[in-house]
Structure 1
Amino acid sequence: MHRYTEAQKEFIKKASPGRYNDEITNLFNQEFGTSLSVCQIRSFKAKHKIKSNVPRNRVKPDSGLFTKEQKEFIKANVKGVLNRELAELVNEKFNLTITAQQMLTYKKNHGLTSGVNTQFKRGQEAWNKGIKGLDLAGENGKKTQFKKGDQPQNYRPVGSERIDSRDGYTLIKVKDEGLYQDRWRHKHVVVWEKENGPVPYGCVIVFADGDKRNIEMSNLLLITRNELVRMNQQELFSSDSKLTKAALTMIRLGNKVIDHELYGGDRDEFQKHIETAKKNGLSEQTFITRLKRGWALSDALYKPLHSRPYGRKVKS
């Protein structure tokens, strides 16, 4: 363990502000001819509560895209030179491959400006004035360009079908125009809608036997999303369509019992209560959960979140 003299202690106190521990260590060893380590200097500073007040993330002079010498060269030559020209100068002098975009980014990050005004002047003609399009492909390129009215080789006519590689559903093309999801639709939905009209809001079409390729009307079931959730939660979908339909009937009967317990069969009146709850900042699920737990209607509607119903016993 090194025993510090008063002169050494005073030296560390004066040398610490604005310097990192390795810098202080080098100065100390040069001054007193010692061979202390950085850890020893750090321990001494911590014990005597001496701080350097330097950034935690140390930035070295040669860190980043350029070395210190290269940074000084850029700073000395930035005025009156375009980014492309400055990049070429740096590349030529230091054998680098810096692009104009990298030079632009570096200048922005370090507050450097060239002073060159590259904006269009009033009355200045555009370089492509009078040119109809850009012939960048050349004569050979024109042979493979699409002409107006041409169709790509992978064009599929309306009525074409394919299997979606993501989920295995059969897709059918219903029209040529519009977005992809408008042009290609799930075939089982199209088949059901052809017989029954648009799928009602909040409902989906499922396969009674679970086979996505069996798109017969007798195998397609219209169910609500609430019923879908309950069927999935209880794992009631079966490869036997009869069992699936029986399970769906059971779920629907259970929902009717719950509905009757909640609002006595008057769905319209209950919907009004839901709207009132939403206006009071409650979600539909929170409101229904409160009723299922035995809350009075007035409490379930108007008490704020995280409240308890009146009359509930609190453990002492």
Structure 2
Amino acid sequence: MSRLLDDKQLKAYKKFVPGHTGAEIAKMVYENWGIQLTVQKVHALNIRNNIKSGLYQKYFGKADPRRSSSHHDLHKRMAIGTVKRNETRSKDRPNRAPIVVVKQAEKKWKPNHRRVWEEAYGPIPKGYKTVFLDGNSLNFSITNLALVTDAEFLVMNDKHLISSDKRVTRSGIALARLLSKTYQVKRKKGSN
């Protein structure tokens, strides 16, 4: 595979990256050199060349040069059990629903809907997810949560079986279980 940038371009690229998002970097590369990159290619390029942007994203403690130092110390001052709304929305995924998280320990957060389910029914087994029956990720009522397997969740998303009506979503879960089981049986027959 040929290189995306020559040595001179890579040197200028490395100087530009700190403090800029993937979308900003892709725009700069297109404007300067006419090379069109996706955000994923920008991230891959950064990883391949060991370039760090320094942005404060999803890991605590990595400093964002555009934010004050008090912002970075905020997570350290929060007590265990603190609930906060995690509104990290990127330009790549603007429709992503907000998730409320609860601090479990130092640098360890858990989604609140998982905590509510585990308090009521015990730990969530590996390979299972909790879904919101009414589609509202801010409604943590135990009657609004259901447990599905990863395979069932994939079928529900693929077939658009998640609705704002709880009864419709429950029916979608039943249909997803049936379809998932059907897919498993077909796969077993195909491997024989």
In structure 2, what residue type is equivalent to 1:196? Y
Aligned with 1:172 (options 102, 123, 127): 102
In structure 2, what residue type is equivalent to 1:247? G
Instruction: Give yes or no for the alignment of 1:200 onto 2:136.
Output: no
CA distance in 2, matches of 1:208, 1:155: 34
Kindly state the Cα deviation for residue 218 of structure 1 after the two structures are TM-superposed: 0.6
Kindly state the Cα deviation for residue 160 of structure 1 after the two structures are TM-superposed: 1.5
CA RMSD of aligned residues (A): 2.4
Kindly state the Cα deviation for residue 153 of structure 1 after the two structures are TM-superposed: 9.7
Residue 235 of structure 1 aligns to a residue whose secondary structure is: coil
In structure 2, what residue type is equivalent to 1:162? K
Match of 1:37 in 2: none
CA distance in 1, matches of 2:78, 2:180: 44
Q: 1:200 to 1:155 in 2, by over 3 A?
A: same
Q: 1:258 to 1:163 in 2, by over 3 A?
A: same
How far does the alpha carbon of each residue in 1:75-103 deviate from its partner, in whole angstroms, 9 at most, with x for none? xxxxxxxxxxxxxxxxxxxxxxxxxxxxx
Instruction: Give yes or no for the alignment of 1:214 onto 2:139.
Output: yes
- The size of the alignment, in residue pairs, is 112
Report the TM-score when normalising by structure 1: 0.33
Greater fraction of residues in strand? 2
In structure 2, what residue type is equivalent to 1:164? N
Report the TM-score when normalising by structure 2: 0.52
How far does the alpha carbon of each residue in 1:268-293 deviate from its partner, in whole angstroms, 9 at most, with x for none? xxxxxxxxxxxxxxxxxxxx38x34x
In structure 2, what residue type is equivalent to 1:228? F
How far does the alpha carbon of each residue in 1:231-259 deviate from its partner, in whole angstroms, 9 at most, with x for none? 11111110001100011111212333454
| Structure 1, unaligned runs of 5 or more | 1-150, 263-287, 298-316
How far does the alpha carbon of each residue in 1:182-223 deviate from its partner, in whole angstroms, 9 at most, with x for none? 2x2101001101111111111111101110110010111111
CA distance in 2, matches of 1:235, 1:221: 16
1:1-316 alignment runs, 5 A limit:
155-166=77-88, 167-175=97-105, 177=106, 180=107, 182=108, 184-259=109-184, 261-262=185-186, 288=187, 291-292=189-190, 297=192
Q: 1:203 to 1:153 in 2, by over 3 A?
A: closer
Question: Whose RCO is larger (CA < 8 A, sep 6+)?
Answer: 2
| Structure 2, unaligned runs of 5 or more | 1-72, 89-96
CA distance in 2, matches of 1:154, 1:253: 46
CA distance in 1, matches of 2:76, 2:122: 32
Match of 1:117 in 2: none
Residue 221 of structure 1 aligns to a residue whose secondary structure is: strand
In structure 1, what residue type is equivalent to 2:122? G
Q: 1:156 to 1:254 in 2, by over 3 A?
A: same
Kindly state the Cα deviation for residue 159 of structure 1 after the two structures are TM-superposed: 2.1
In structure 2, what residue type is equivalent to 1:173? K
